Structure 1
Amino acid sequence: MNQILTDGAKHLALVVAAGLRIACLVALSVSGTGHAAEKWPVKQFELVETIPWHDDVVVGGSGAAAIARAFGLNPETPTPTNAKLSPELKREVELYLARIAQQFEAWGFPAPDLNPVVQLDDGRLAYRVYYVDLVSGRSRYESNSWILEPLAPSENIIFFHNRNLLQSGRLSQSGKSTLAHELFHAVQGATKLRQDYPGKLGSWIVEGQASAVGYDTERLLAGGNGNLPKDSGRSWWGLRDYSRALPVPRGSGESAPDIAYQTSSFWRYLAELDYSRGHRELDALPGPMPAPYDYRYLNYFLAQTVPEKTLAGEVAWLDGALRNYHRFRFPLNRVYANFIAAYVEYGRYRAETPNFRGSDADALLWVYESFPDCPAETLTPTQRKVSMIVDLAQAATACRGIYAEGFAPEVSADVQLAADSQALLEQLAVVFDGGQRVVVPSSIGVDNAAGKARARWSIRLREKPAAVSIGGFLPNNIFVLNIARIARDTKRQSVELTVSIGGSEVLQSTPGPAEPAAAEQPSREDKRTGKPDEAGPAGAAKAADGRRQRAADKVTSNGPLGQRIERENAEPMMKIHLRSVPDELAVLGEVNGTGGLMEQILASAGVVERAGPAGFVGGVTQAIVDRTESVELRIPRIDYGFTGTFRNAEILLSRPAASTLEARGPVDADPGAFVEFLPSGSITIDEYRPEFLSGTFVGDLIDRSANPVHSRDRVVTAKIERRVQGRFWISSPWQGDDRIEPVLSSGLEADFRSDMLQRLPAELAPVAAGGSFGESSGNQPGESPSSSANSGGCDCSCAAKAQVTATLDAIDDDKGPSGDELQAVGCMMSCMQTYASCPGD
């Protein structure tokens, strides 16, 4: 397995190199938003100040039109309304609707399912829409096919409520977005999705899309593709409770719940992703900053059919569309995690409100309104572990906050999740704020006896002073997402979340009162001001570089490499290792990038590359030379739940360029040496659970090399060199327990491919994805047998590997990429696992 992983990494590096070379050769010209072939034969509108009498909502009773006909009345006769429509407002609205139609046509949207169509005085055709003042106070698109009302009108019409459109008698910013919102509903009505699903399709789709398109069309026509005025209200950015499931039912009444409209933030994220992918940007993941957007992706999504008329069917529809749309090719679980990573920072970068002018306050308010149940716990030098149960619905996100008080301004910490099975654990992804982003489990431990699966992430917690305006400190937020790789198969679950800060404190002295050894103390220069990290990929890289620079030439006792145990069920003794390690190595083991496992590897490599490999190695070497001593404790093998003290325990203290000191443990004399080693070692276990081990130790140490082998005296007592005592806190001791089986995530290969696709231009995505993310006969969406001899049109046999490798090696940097070269990149990715097991490497 190790050889396979090594070879797989080698092939992955080849794919990365070839893909990036090809990406550089692809022309970087920006594709414009030019008009597609004319799809809208009618792009004019007539706004009339009247109500078509056949609308049963207006007259207040179901079947009113049929009743009218029974009494010989004409349901088509317009009735007056109290709305007052000036000629100036009428003209302004009609012209603005025409501009919206032009933009919708440019995005490739089909002509709306809207009538009546009338002929204007100048001979042009126009859609008639209605300007009303109703008790309901709502603008709406009314479609017979949508409401399934057998007595409803046959026409699909739009009402614009005057109070939705106006501010001080003029068409408002909100009114303009309302015009686009309702017209987009008519566009939805003309698509395959709505025609094949005429019932109440989930409002998170219908209203979420319309809200996003409505707001962003107004932004675009206003001359900007970026930010909104910060006092426009957070609803424009789609602030919603994402601790609830992403899919939202339409609701029992005629109107959709507010949360459905607020799902616009997710659909807008996809539009930002579509723009970045369409403009051939590398590492093209939208961040928290406002970004350009492109809603062309909706043409593909709305042309797909929901497999079944349930929320699960709607989720499967979304998952399939994301996997198969040519600019994405990413499954929902990856896209949603990346979305949440950006979304949780919107409060700082997009949605500053009029009442909160400090960015810290806005960031805090955004998170707490998006995740109303986000309790916070505090870690201190005396309370280094907190555990909590997190309940997760399908396709939902949970939030937990952690304060780190009394440590250095930045401190290494472990985040662990324990689920009831490996399959349930693999549904989870974790998002960290402050420039530390998305990670899915790569290394998992399965405890078959306890029926638990565990995963561990290493991050940095910061002491985050808040702005003076609000005072105090800000929490480090952790977000846990629950979506399976096959999204419709996601199970609701409860998981145990543990956050801990490992480490050790070692005090040494000559016999007598113990004096503290030189401890690692933060310098004044290390103090952070609480200023947020920059957003986006460049900001994440800068944040990682900053952590490395603050770690340079230093050692840490609480990094992910510092403390560990060795426990083998066949051995009578177990070992506890305590050591300080170069902090720069700890940085590499922590979360530095955006995305999945490959992103973390590339981000760590980027930290080294930007620092200069020689300088990086020099700093690590210097830290090793200057490192403090390491301690090894040996005790009888114990099990989880044990607490107690071992007397006469063995303690070893290793010193740089010096002999090892030790408390001898159970063997108190060498046979025949006539030298007595007095028992002194004592080790106390305060807590031992799979996720955390803590305790204390003390012992008088001798140097065996400084004592005689033989003595003329009858007995010689070994000289005590010094006393050592201290405490230890070890996160994730399960990783050193041979009863817990380390396994690779079953989705590791798919994660590698998904991460790679995110870094390549959209032109390469269809080729690189092959058939792995699409529907394939006999497999779930996105799942294809990795051992197959053919994957997405690629020959995955070992015989074909040489030809693919030769094609990649022969890429000419002076020429544009050929079709064969694009295909070779895709095949190397699709066949990576089987190629890695081929002989001869």
Structure 2
Amino acid sequence: MTVSARIGVMLMLLFLGAAAAAPARAAGWQTTEFIFENTDPRGNQVVAALNPFGGFSSEQKIVVAEFERYLSEVAVYYQGMGFNAPPLPLVAGRNGGKAYRVHLFDYDDSLPIARAAARADGTTTLQADLSRAIRDGKATPRLFEDLAHELFHNVQHGYIGFERLDDRDWIVEGQAQALGMEAASRLRGIDLYRGKQDDYRLGGRPYYQALPAANTGRKEDYRTASFWRYVGEHYAASRKNGRAGIQPLAPDYSYLARVLDRPLAPRASAGADLRWLDGGLRQATGLGLPRLYAAFVTTFAAYVPDRLTSPVSASAQEAQDRWLQFVFGACPEIALSPRAPGGDALLPLRKNAARCFKTQIAGSGRADVSIQTRAETVGALQALQLGIAGGARIGSAQIVPSPAGGGYIGHWRFRIEAGAPYVFVVSNMAADPAATLNQDLSFNATYSQWVSNLSQPRAQAPASRNADTRPGAATAAPAQQPAATDATRAAAREELASGLAAQSNQTALGSGARFERRRPRCVEPFGATVCGPVTSISLSLTAGAIGDTTQTTGTGGGLAQFMSQMTAIADHGAMRTDREWRAALEEARDTEGSSVSITFPLVEYGFTGSFDNAAIIVNGGTGQGNFQALGPQDSIPGRGREYRQSGRVTIVEFTPYMMRGEFQAALTDMSAVDLSAGDDIVLPVHRQIRGEFVIAAPWEGDRDVTDYQQPSIDSAVQDLSQAFPVVGNGELADILPPAATDTPPDGTPASPPARAVGVFPRCACDCQPVSALAPGCKPICAVKLRACWAEDRRRKALQEASAQQATQQQADPARRQTRAEYIEGLRRVGMSQAQIDRIMPGVDAFWEENGGWGQ
């Protein structure tokens, strides 16, 4: 299928809105009544059947009746979500119909208070310990959760044979624990762990280990309920076009009916089980496991302190730090500041697991931070999803071949608030989860910024606290769960609105570089004119992130991020956005120092050093021309005029991750200079500028670096589902025409070959001898050496011309210079024939009016 056809499919989906698949239908529920018997299932069932309602005291019968009513309600709840009936034995009910048998009898207290078991005939049993179920004539609260938990095990057995459940506890126990807790809370208001065991209640487990690698000894299989609950919250929220977030929502577990309906491999295998789950989730929710897992771990990171149900003795920050340590292991910090605008954190990413790191920018206002890492293969980077804790902003990597140092670069960009700590969560799960690999990656965070003594930025206002998690006061989680909302959409609109009111110096759009390698070489040295291959740096005050398609403003891949920005514009009002954007541009145009352009000879990655002949142009604002770094001395003595570029730029660091430097210049408004006063005019200096810049991901302006993009209908539809959650809730095959599949089209390029990851070059380039340079630095420093040689030749020629002129004047003070001598002098100071041809008519006219050239 062509790209245009894919776009047509996506537009079709957008117009259709919610094309959800039909809900699963419950099968085989002959009854929702339950009968409790005081019998051991290992005993004589024929005898027990003669007196099915006996075996309990009158006091016990009251509690047993409550248990029976409760299980009936649980059965109605499960049936309503579309689950198949459990294969429990049927007995005569109390009202003449059928009922499911439950064995409530006294057994060993070392065993669980309730349990499900399989029988040789393919049926199952549901049992509970009588001695612990009823205490002092009252029902034990724990049994309500456990009965719902074990009944769900019976439901699972209806889909999956008992022999196939071994070593799949993270699936079997995690699902049952989630359903058991929800049923007890929903139907009886019982929350056993509220206010006491928040870590267990929230399902805290080390998700820095592989999802299937749950340690049963530490109940991590049960704690994986957190994942199944999140998907339930996501499923419930998406039906109302909302999103699951930090605040709890009532989950909808009906998605599990479709997941369980898919055949499971006979033997447990982490890879096979993850593939099974991925297919089931795609069928049920429209999103595959990698995207849902990334959304889960990113949101889960921010559950503390917001979802705590008991006060914490420590601060909110300390509580969150302990939670992150427990769930993600070490969470290294990257502190950024104007003096240290970039930093790194090493993350040992296990397959199908997640890690975190923290980033904080010193200062105020919002800033664009680029997160970059390198790997040997494109596939390794495609497995990564990165988001800010809270789940409102999650994205896949922009992938390019690294222009230096080898490997491929994965890049994300986020706008964050300076002065506040942010937690980033990285998930490592390939599109085929079974193919995911362990990888140890170093993540670099760098924020874009520039300052000068002439610029007057107006920072983007701070955001109200939302899903972008920054710790606040630790408060108990609300008992009543709020309605689903779309925090991502609200945050994107707020980001747009506040950005349009700013004139920020901390945006990626306002700090950029271009590398123009294909320009014709200079006929004469750079400086007299701007010529040849050049590096151009553009610094400007900008209004927010509008137009920056690399921003992660939503959840999902590139299409989802684009849709998030378009939705924000629509929510803010297209006409209003256009009006405010134009006003911001006009304000920047009318403000002195709002933009700086710096051009100098082309440098390559690894270069550090200075140029004193950079072209620097600064916006003059209302009523003035642009300020330029020229001269100020005339480089051509006597008749003729040339003011060379005189700005100074120093590159302090230049890697694919960052270009950092300094600039300074004496500036002249040429529109205010009168050049008719004579020869050798020294230009007035109207302004002095001094500043610094940091350009994150400078390769974005390098035409030789192109994105690696492999089109996929599947990823595009998942993007659409994440941009508009209500579009999900269905399998791809259910909402696409038969001809559209997730199979890559014929001719799709294979994944590019692996590239070894090495160190970035770093070369100190000045006018030193070539022999003093390391071999790898010679080509990088060549541009500086050529500039040094050209400037040396120019100065020597100028000195020789001046000396010759002085000698001639001493020999014959009255002698006039001939036209040929004058032209020869121009050539000696480095002027090209084109420049000579351009200025000579004016010089000829002058001498014609003043006695003519010398003979």
TM-score by length of 2: 0.72
Partner of 2:260: 302
Match of 1:375 among 324, 332, 339: 332
CA distance in 1, matches of 2:355, 2:30: 44
Structure with bigger gyration radius: 2
Partner of 1:615: 576
Q: Number of matched residues?
A: 701
Is the 2:335–2:360 contact (alpha carbons within 8 Å) kept by the matching residues of 1? yes
Deviation, 1:617, is: 2.1
In the alignment, does 2:301 pair up with 1:344? yes
Deviation, 1:265, is: 1.7
Instruction: Spell out, residue by residue over 1:102-159, the C-alpha distance to the aligned partner (whole angstroms, 9 max, x if none).
Output: 43333343343456x66689886652424446353534646468xxxxxx99985444
Partner of 1:721: 686
Partner of 1:633: 598
Deviation, 1:639, is: 2.8
CA distance in 2, matches of 1:681, 1:205: 65
CA distance in 2, matches of 1:207, 1:703: 75
Q: 1:209 to 1:387 in 2, by over 3 A?
A: same
Deviation, 1:761, is: 6.5
Match of 1:567 among 515, 533, 536: 515
CA distance in 2, matches of 1:592, 1:521: 19
Q: 1:763 to 1:680 in 2, by over 3 A?
A: closer
Match of 1:92 among 55, 66, 70: 66
Q: 1:168 to 1:349 in 2, by over 3 A?
A: farther
Deviation, 1:398, is: 1.3
Deviation, 1:228, is: 9.6
Match of 1:198 among 138, 153, 164: 164
Match of 1:693 among 653, 659, 667: 659
Partner of 1:269: 230
State the AA in 1 paired with 2:358: G
In the alignment, does 2:292 pair up with 1:331? no
Deviation, 1:764, is: 9.1
Q: 1:295 to 1:625 in 2, by over 3 A?
A: closer
Partner of 1:478: 424
Instruction: Spell out, residue by residue over 1:682-741, the C-alpha distance to the aligned partner (whole angstroms, 9 max, x if none).
Output: 22221111111111111222344555667644x322322222111111111121233423
Deviation, 1:261, is: 0.8
Instruction: Spell out, residue by residue over 1:378-402, the C-alpha distance to the aligned partner (whole angstroms, 9 max, x if none).
Output: 2223222122222211221111111
CA distance in 2, matches of 1:342, 1:214: 22
State the AA in 2 paired with 1:185: H
In the alignment, does 2:484 pair up with 1:520? no
Q: 1:603 to 1:667 in 2, by over 3 A?
A: farther
Partner of 1:45: 35
Q: What is the identity percentage for the equivalent residue pairs of Structure 1 and Structure 2? A: 23
State the AA in 2 paired with 1:320: G
SS of 1:457's equivalent in the other structure is strand
CA distance in 1, matches of 2:383, 2:23: 38
State the AA in 1 paired with 2:150: E
In the alignment, does 2:255 pair up with 1:290? no
CA distance in 2, matches of 1:341, 1:786: 35
Deviation, 1:318, is: 0.7
Q: 1:158 to 1:764 in 2, by over 3 A?
A: closer
Match of 1:318 among 242, 266, 277: 277
Partner of 2:208: 243
CA distance in 2, matches of 1:703, 1:728: 23
Partner of 2:16: 19
CA distance in 2, matches of 1:428, 1:633: 36
Q: 1:691 to 1:773 in 2, by over 3 A?
A: farther
Is the 2:537–2:597 contact (alpha carbons within 8 Å) kept by the matching residues of 1? yes
CA distance in 2, matches of 1:32, 1:229: 32
Match of 2:383 among 404, 419, 427: 427
Deviation, 1:483, is: 1.4
Partner of 2:629: 663
Q: 1:365 to 1:222 in 2, by over 3 A?
A: farther
Partner of 1:57: none
CA distance in 2, matches of 1:535, 1:155: 40
In the alignment, does 2:743 pair up with 1:783? yes
Partner of 2:177: 211
Instruction: Spell out, residue by residue over 1:429-465, the C-alpha distance to the aligned partner (whole angstroms, 9 max, x if none).
Output: 1112367422223x4322376432223333222257x
Is the 2:286–2:731 contact (alpha carbons within 8 Å) kept by the matching residues of 1? no
SS of 1:290's equivalent in the other structure is coil
State the AA in 1 paired with 2:74: I
CA distance in 2, matches of 1:535, 1:563: 41
CA distance in 2, matches of 1:329, 1:610: 25
CA distance in 2, matches of 1:10, 1:99: 47
CA distance in 2, matches of 1:439, 1:646: 39
CA distance in 2, matches of 1:391, 1:237: 25
State the AA in 1 paired with 2:564: A
Q: 1:354 to 1:482 in 2, by over 3 A?
A: same
Deviation, 1:492, is: 1.9
Partner of 2:373: 417
SS of 1:601's equivalent in the other structure is helix
Q: 1:612 to 1:520 in 2, by over 3 A?
A: same
Q: 1:703 to 1:675 in 2, by over 3 A?
A: farther
Pairs within 5 Å for 1:638-657: 638-656=603-621
CA distance in 2, matches of 1:170, 1:356: 34
Q: 1:708 to 1:550 in 2, by over 3 A?
A: same
Is the 1:47–1:128 contact (alpha carbons within 8 Å) kept by the matching residues of 2? yes
Instruction: Spell out, residue by residue over 1:203-262, the C-alpha distance to the aligned partner (whole angstroms, 9 max, x if none).
Output: 1101111111111122332379x999666734233222222221136x6xxx56411111
CA distance in 2, matches of 1:528, 1:575: 33
Q: 1:320 to 1:121 in 2, by over 3 A?
A: closer
Q: 1:153 to 1:707 in 2, by over 3 A?
A: same
CA distance in 2, matches of 1:673, 1:87: 117
Pairs within 5 Å for 1:59-458: 86-114=60-88, 126-132=100-106, 134=108, 136-139=110-113, 141=115, 143=117, 156-161=124-129, 170-191=138-159, 193-195=160-162, 198=164, 200-222=166-188, 233-248=198-213, 257-275=218-236, 281=240, 283-307=241-265, 309-323=268-282, 325=283, 327-347=284-304, 349-355=306-312, 366-408=323-365, 410-433=366-389, 436-441=392-397, 443-447=398-402, 450-458=405-413
SS of 1:735's equivalent in the other structure is helix
Deviation, 1:478, is: 0.9
How large is the Cα RMSD of the aligned pairs? 4.2
Instruction: Spell out, residue by residue over 1:288-347, the C-alpha distance to the aligned partner (whole angstroms, 9 max, x if none).
Output: 333333333333322323346311111111112122x2x423222222223334433433
Relative to structure 2, which stretch is displaced further, 650-659 or 372-381?
650-659
Partner of 1:68: none
Q: 1:672 to 1:589 in 2, by over 3 A?
A: farther
Match of 1:540 among 488, 497, 510: 488
Is the 1:207–1:256 contact (alpha carbons within 8 Å) kept by the matching residues of 2? no
Is the 2:377–2:407 contact (alpha carbons within 8 Å) kept by the matching residues of 1? yes
Q: 1:321 to 1:764 in 2, by over 3 A?
A: closer
CA distance in 2, matches of 1:261, 1:267: 11
CA distance in 1, matches of 2:78, 2:390: 37
Match of 1:460 among 415, 419, 430: 415
Q: 1:611 to 1:296 in 2, by over 3 A?
A: closer
Gaps of 5+ in 1: 55-80, 146-151, 465-473, 509-516, 775-781, 789-841
